[in-house]
Amino acid sequence: MSIGLRAAFAAFTLTLAATPATAAEWKHELAPYVWGSAMEGTVGIGTVTAESEMSFSDILDDLEFGFMGMYRASRDRYSITVDAIYMGLGVTEKGPGGALKADIDVDQIGLETDFGYALNERFTLFGGLRYVSLDADLRVTGPLGNELTASEGQDWVDPVVGAIYSWPFADEWTLNLRGDIGGFGVGSDFAWQGMATLRWQFSPRTALGMAYRYLDMDYEDGKGSNRFKYDMATSGPAMGVIFTF
């Protein structure tokens, strides 16, 4: 097991262990989501590098779904959040005149644990760790049919800090805005994320969440034939059900 995976697993274990005996005083939320994502950026393995740009309108033609699940426990001003995502992203790009074609497939797993403190009813600060695992496959085809192929897997852990702003603008409606930054050269060079979620609380224990999420990561490791570069932004709408217990 890699150092990054051990660190993420330890953080997740500490999260579970942090639930006190007075569990009745805690509020718990579980939210499974699906995420339709687009991608834009650069993937490089060794000497093979490919650019990708798939706009939101391209999702209708080349959509690949991801999965996002969130668990949150809160008590008074304190909260613990575990966020797990899986994204299977694939796109085919062509150069000018179609002379070059690049097929990019990326499978990404993310596990994040955050510890939050509410300054007031609307504003929460948080910090945590985000574990990322990537498997990337590249195939670049030239005008004469010659191909360059490369595959690589990497994993790392990023420290993350951020804030959440909640605006309950109607009896059953709340707008949540989240932003965070991370990496700082510890894992990735830099990473940032923004997410807006519209929540409709249609029953005391069940809500519908509609979100838009943007995640940008810039990671590079190694040189020459051992080089791995992942400078990619993934974005798109998400929707799921939030269960409170």
Strand, coil or helix: 217: strand
Q: Per DSSP, which regions of the chain are E strands?
A: 27-45, 48-53, 64-75, 78-94, 101-118, 123-141, 147-167, 173-182, 190-203, 206-221, 228-244
Q: How many CB atoms lie within 10 A of CB 200?
A: 14
Pairwise CA distance, residues 59 & 147, whole Å: 27
Asked whether 238 and 68 are in contact (CB, 8 A), the reply is yes
Start-to-end C-alpha separation, the chain: 34
Query: What secondary structure letter does DSSP report for 142?
Result: -
pLDDT at res. 9: 46
Identity of the amino acid at 117: Y
pLDDT at res. 12: 47
- Higher-confidence residue: 218 or 4? 218
Does domain 3-18+29-244 sit in CATH 1.10.238?
Answer: no
Pairwise CA distance, residues 217 & 40, whole Å: 11
- What percentage of the chain carries pLDDT values higher than 90? 52
Nearest alpha-carbon partner for 66 in 237, 226, 219, 205: 237
Burial profile 59-69: b = 16 or more Cβ within 10 angstroms, e = fewer: beeeebebebe
pLDDT in tens, 15-47: 444 444 444 589 999 999 988 877 789 988 888
pTM above 0.75, yes or no: yes
Asked whether 153 and 124 are in contact (CB, 8 A), the reply is no
Mean per-residue pLDDT, 144-157: 81
pLDDT at res. 7: 47
Nearest alpha-carbon partner for 76 in 119, 127, 112: 119
